[in-house]
Amino acid sequence: MAKGLDVGTMNILSAKQEGTDTVFVQQRNSFVEIEYSDMAEQMLSRSDVLHIRKDDDVYVLGDDALNFANIFNRETRRPMSQGILSSDEKSAIPMMKLIIEQVVGSPDRPDEKLYFSSPADPIDSDLSTLYHQKTIESFLNDMGYDAEPINEGMSVIYSELADNDFTGLGISFGAGMTNVCLAYYAVPVMKFSVARGGDWIDEQAAQATGTQVDKVTSIKEDGFELDFTTDVGGVEGALSIYYENLLDYVIEKIRKEVDEEDIEEGLDVPVVVTGGTSSPNGFSKLFEQHLEDADIPFSISDVRHAEEPMYSVSRGALVAGRSEEEDQDRDTAGSASEDDESESEPDEEIEAASDD
Please give the residue ranges that form the binding site for ligand ATP (CB under 6 A): 8-11, 83, 172, 174-177, 197-199, 217, 220-221, 275-277, 279-280, 310
Beta bridge partners of 15: 4, 24
State in angstroms the smallest separation of the CB of 25 from Mg ion: 16
In whole angstroms, the minimum distance from the beta carbon of 267 to Mg ion comes to 25
User: Which residue, among 111, 115, 126, 95, has the nearest Cα to 28 in the 3D structure?
Assistant: 95
Euclidean distance between CA atoms 86 and 89, whole angstroms? 6
Residue 28 interacts with, from Mg ion, ligand ATP, none (CB under 5-8 Å by kind):
none
Residue with smaller CB distance to ligand ATP, 4 or 83: 83
CB 305 within 8 A of CB 279: no
- Is the Cβ of residue 107 or residue 174 nearer to Mg ion in the bound state? 174
Rounded to an integer, what distance in angstroms lies between the CA atom of residue 12 and that of residue 102? 10
Q: How are strands ordered across the β-sheet holding 31-35? A: 31-35, 57-61, 51-54
Q: Output b/e per residue, 303-331; b: 16+ Cβ within 10 A.
A: bbbbeebbbbbbbbbbbbbbbbbebeeee
Measured on CA atoms in the order 281, 284, 290, 292, is the torsion positive or negative? Answer: negative
Nearer to Mg ion, 107 or 197 (CB): 197
Binds 170: which of ligand ATP, Mg ion, none (CB < 5-8 Å by kind): none
Site string for Mg ion, 45-84 (x = CB under 5 A): ----------------------------------------
**CB-based contacts of 83, cutoff 8 Å, min separation 6:** 9, 119, 122, 127, 129, 132, 174, 176, 177, 179, 193, 195, 197
In whole angstroms, how close is the CB of 91 to ligand ATP at the nearest point? 18
Q: Out of ligand ATP, Mg ion, none, which partner does residue 199 contact, by CB within 5 to 8 A per kind?
A: ligand ATP
Q: How far is the CB of 200 from ligand ATP (least distance, A)?
A: 9
Strand order in the sheet with 299-305: 187-194, 178-184, 168-173, 268-274, 299-305
CB of 224 to ligand ATP, least distance (A): 6
Strand partners, 28: 11
Instruction: Give the C-alpha separation, 251 to 253, whole Å.
Output: 5
Please tell me whether residue 4 binds Mg ion under the rule CB under 5 A. Answer: no
Residue 242 CB, nearest approach to ligand ATP (Å): 12
118 binds, among ligand ATP, Mg ion, none (CB under 5 to 8 A by kind): none
Angle at 272 between CA 271 and CA 275, to 5 degrees: 145
Q: Which is nearer to Mg ion, 107 or 275 (CB)?
A: 275
Burial 51-77 (b: 16+ CB within 10 A, else e): beeeeeebbbbbebbbebbeeeeeebb
Nearer to Mg ion, 171 or 239 (CB): 171
Which range, of 1-9, 63-71, 257-265, 281-289, touches Mg ion by CB under 5 A? Answer: 1-9
Bridge partner list, 33: 59
Task: Please choose, from the candidates 298, 273, 14, 330, the residue with its C-alpha nearest in 3D space to the C-alpha of residue 147.
Answer: 14
Nearer Cβ to ligand ATP (9/323): 9
174 in contact with Mg ion (CB under 5 A): yes
Rounded least distance, CB 139 to ligand ATP, Å: 17
Would you count residue 8 as binding Mg ion (CB under 5 A)? yes
Q: Which stretch binds Mg ion (CB under 5 A): 68-76, 169-177, 219-227, 258-266?
A: 169-177
Write down the least CB distance from residue 93 to Mg ion, Å.
19
**153 interface partner picked from Mg ion, ligand ATP, none, CB below 5 to 8 A per type:** none
* Nearest residue relative to Mg ion (C-beta): 174
Q: From the CA atom positions of the chain, what is the Rg in Å? A: 21
Query: Least CB distance from residue 175 to Mg ion, whole Å?
Result: 7
107 interacts with, out of ligand ATP, Mg ion, none, CB within 5 to 8 A per kind = none
The residue type at 216: V
Q: Which residues bind Mg ion (CB under 5 A)?
A: 8, 174
